Structure 1
Amino acid sequence: MSRFMALVGRDLRLAWRRPGDAAVVLAFFVLAASLFPLGVGPALETLARIAPGVLWVAALFAAMLSLDRLFADDFADGTLEQLALAPLPLELTALAKCLAHWIVTGLPLAVLSPALGLLFGLDAASIATLTASLLLGAPSLSLLGGLGAALTLGARRGGALLSLLVLPLAVPVLIFGVGAVEALKGGDGVLAHFALLGAFLAGTLAITPWAMAAALRQAVE
């Protein structure tokens, strides 16, 4: 566990040395969400209706901005080969890097979502549900993105391939995340949607580290 947390800390320190990368992700999220009120008009009823879908899609695309570098820098300088030979299993290495990615991108996006929810005219209960759904769903996006980054590592135009791989896989997360807010507005319970988000996270957590490790081993051989 100490090696795992040390690797997470290493990636967080590297991200701290490049604050511009995280700033670009957050700026994209804010700008992408802020442009929709300009396009659809100032009617709060319309904005509140589209807010969950807009914010979830903006969060997905914002999180994907930094995914192509998740393993690429370590692959380019030979660090990935050393990590593959380290005592820490490569599955846990991949999981640690995805955890660091979530801390740097997914967590700040969820923290920013209440302010953008107010921009769209959401009430307090809807904002709380949206934030909770992002907190529960964003780790799945990081894990799926890590799988896409590992599969496209070293490929030409890897960023485009990564998007093609990750976007279809992320559709269930978007559906359950948006559905939680819509269920609250309709007077239905949101626990079912949170349970589905949790089940999807558990499934990705059980599968993606092994798939990422296999793809990374193939890349360094």
Structure 2
Amino acid sequence: MISLLIRDLKLAFRAGGGFGLGLAFFLIVTVLVPFGVGPNSVLLSKIAPGILWLGALLACLLSLDRILALDWEDGSLDLLATSPLPLEGVVTIKSLAHWLTTGLPLTLAAPLFGLLLSLPEGGYLWLVLSLMVGTPALSVIGTFGAALTVGIKRGGLLLSLLVLPLYVPTLIFGAELARRGAEGLATTTPLLMLAGITFGVIALLPFASALVLRVNLR
């Protein structure tokens, strides 16, 4: 499993679409928002948690189509399906590799981008916490979407259409957690809901992804 994780991390850097592209897209979204809504720091501070969460979510979408597509193209996916490692473990490792190359860098960079949106001082810790808890769910859900569309030529748009509705609950509670933290309000409910979503998809979706892959590989 460790060897597969290292291999996927190397592929993510060699093939492009890794943390560099995601961070660049995240930065562009953050920079463009003040041009669209104006330089009002009070307004920017109110919408900063939601904008940062939306930017991180969209940045995660950029590399979803590469989670399984490269293995499908070179035949590695067939070999992985017949290896001693169960497919559930394979998709879990691929989700972890995607999070390490996309979700984690976005989480660490979010406070820097928060400065551009006048995020309140009390919101930085809660922003990082919300992304740290919520972005693993984005990677796992994205892997499920990649399994559904594997083998489809130019399936990137279809993948986005399938995954975006599944991202909505994570976006709602993640942005709400960051907003409440920035405003000094109670954060227990959105934190528990966000953690519940993340643990739920981690527990269930690898089995669904493996089932879909078995159907596609027949």
The equivalent of 1:194 in structure 2 is 191
Cα deviation, residue 187, structure 1: 3.5
**From 28, 34, 40, the counterpart of 1:43:** 40
Which TM-score applies when normalising by structure 2?
0.95
Structure 1 unmatched runs, 5+: none
Following superposition, which runs of at least 4 residues in structure 1 exceed 4 angstroms of deviation?
A: none
SS, match of residue 137 in structure 2:
helix
The equivalent of 2:71 in structure 1 is 74
Match for 2:52: what amino acid?
L
Deviations 1:118-162 (CA, angstroms, capped at 9, x unpaired): 111112220110111011100000001000000011124411111
Cα deviation, residue 170, structure 1: 0.6
> Is residue 151 from structure 1 mapped to residue 148 from structure 2 by the alignment?
yes
Alpha-carbon separation, structure 2, partners of 1:213 and 1:15: 21
Structure 2 unmatched runs, 5+: none
Is the Cα contact below 8 Å between 2:123 and 2:178 reproduced in 1?
yes
The equivalent of 1:205 in structure 2 is 202
Match for 1:196: what amino acid?
M
The equivalent of 1:217 in structure 2 is 214
The equivalent of 2:84 in structure 1 is 87
Deviations 1:172-201 (CA, angstroms, capped at 9, x unpaired): 111111111222344421122111111101
* Counterparts of residues 22-171 of structure 1 (less than 5 Å): 22-171=19-168
Alpha-carbon separation, structure 2, partners of 1:113 and 1:191: 22
Count, aligned residues: 218
Which TM-score applies when normalising by structure 1?
0.94
> Is residue 11 from structure 1 mapped to residue 8 from structure 2 by the alignment?
yes
Alpha-carbon separation, structure 2, partners of 1:152 and 1:168: 16
Deviates more, 1:211-220 or 1:10-19: 10-19
Deviates more, 1:69-78 or 1:155-164: 155-164
CA RMSD between the two structures: 1.3
SS, match of residue 42 in structure 1:
coil
Task: Give the share of equivalent positions with the same residue, in percent.
Answer: 46
The equivalent of 1:182 in structure 2 is 179
